[in-house]
């Protein structure tokens, strides 16, 4: 109810963003119910045009594009959200530990992160995935590990500013432990930038998975994924067939929605009440 009240008072851009995200979530949840065909079912000719039987046409092997988009939403969004959640859990914990403990803990963690960030993210991911394989658990772990380095840098910087505040020092003098300080003093005050970063990281992971799938090392066929759908149908552009634009538009649609909602949360965290 509190969220609905906030939504009523929100700007039109936030409502549009929430609607865009809900549309994708509902499409992914109810994909088996609303999809006209099976995920891997061949229902027509290669790159058939839009028709009553295939509203968005067919792909490179004759599968229904609308069906593939709906199942692709389930796979792409779920994997991106799980990856972002894991990367934030790791990055925030170690970032806060480095800021509160300082000394050798901060030095060791920061140097490890610096080494990892010295490698281009895409090249590092391609190298690791080509060695360990491209299963979904492996994909989530590898991307989360790489992405947690960015979260670590941000959470450490924010926590170091908060850690020197008087209320944190007062909690130390009361004898509160490190984990209590991190959870009850630092985390609540670090939420605004972390919420913004979560939205941006989700979009980055979402697009990163799509890029890996485009290069053939992301979600593997016949599993539907928006990035792999762009790669598989890219040749259609040569013949003036715009089938790959459907998954590309789906990627852009969700990315825009997430960013609109992130902007709204930042506005709420700033304490401003004017939404005009």
**Got the DSSP string for the chain?**
-HHHHHHHTS-HHHHHHHHHHHHHHHHHHTHHHH-SS-TT-B-SSTTPPP-SS-TT-B-TTSBBHHHHHHHHHHHHHHHHHHHHHHHHHHHHHHHHHHHHH-HHHHHHHHHHHHHHHHS-HHHHHHHHHHHH---HHHHHHHHHHHHHHHHHHHHHHHHHHHHTSHHHHHHHHTT--HHHIIIIIIHHHHHHHHHHHHHHHHHHHHHHHHHHHHHTSSSPTTS--HHHHHHHTGGGGGGT--TTHHHHHHHHHHHHHHHHHHHHHHHHHHT-----
Per-residue pLDDT, 276: 44
Per-residue pLDDT, 91: 93
Q: Which domains does the chain have, with CATH numbers?
A: 26-35+44-270 (1.10.3720.10)
Per-residue pLDDT, 269: 66
Look at 81-90, 109-118, 259-268 and tell me which has the smallest mean pLDDT: 259-268
pTM for the structure as a whole: 0.81
pLDDT-based confidence at 144, cuts 50/70/90? very high
């Amino acid at each position: 109810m509190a969220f609905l009240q906030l939504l009523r008072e929100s700007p039109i851009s936030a409502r549009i963003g929430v609607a865009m995200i809900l549309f994708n979530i509902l499409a992914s949840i109810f994909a088996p119910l609303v999809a006209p065909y099976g995920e891997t079912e061949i229902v027509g000719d290669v790159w058939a045009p839009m028709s009553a039987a295939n509203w968005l046409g067919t792909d490179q092997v004759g599968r229904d594009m609308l069906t593939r988009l709906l199942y692709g939403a389930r796979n792409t969004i779920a994997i991106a959200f799980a990856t972002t959640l894991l990367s934030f859990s790791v990055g925030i914990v170690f970032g806060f530990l480095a800021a509160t403990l300082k000394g050798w803990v901060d030095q060791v963690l920061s140097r490890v992160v610096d080494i990892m960030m010295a490698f281009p993210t895409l090249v590092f991911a391609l190298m690791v995935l080509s060695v360990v394989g491209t299963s979904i658990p492996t994909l989530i772990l590898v991307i989360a590990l790489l992405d947690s380095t960015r979260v670590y840098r941000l959470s450490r910087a924010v926590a170091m500013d908060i850690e020197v505040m008087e209320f944190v020092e007062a909690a130390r003098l009361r004898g509160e432990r490190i984990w209590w300080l991190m959870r009850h003093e630092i985390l609540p005050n670090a939420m605004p930038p972390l919420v913004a970063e979560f939205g941006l990281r989700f979009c980055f992971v979402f697009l990163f998975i799509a890029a890996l799938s485009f290069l053939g090392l992301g979600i593997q066929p016949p599993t539907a994924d928006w990035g792999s759908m762009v790669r598989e149908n890219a040749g259609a552009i040569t013949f003036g067939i715009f089938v790959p634009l459907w998954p590309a538009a789906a990627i852009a649609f969700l990315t825009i929605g997430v960013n609109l909602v992130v902007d709204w949360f930042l506005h709420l965290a700033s304490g401003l009440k004017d939404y005009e």
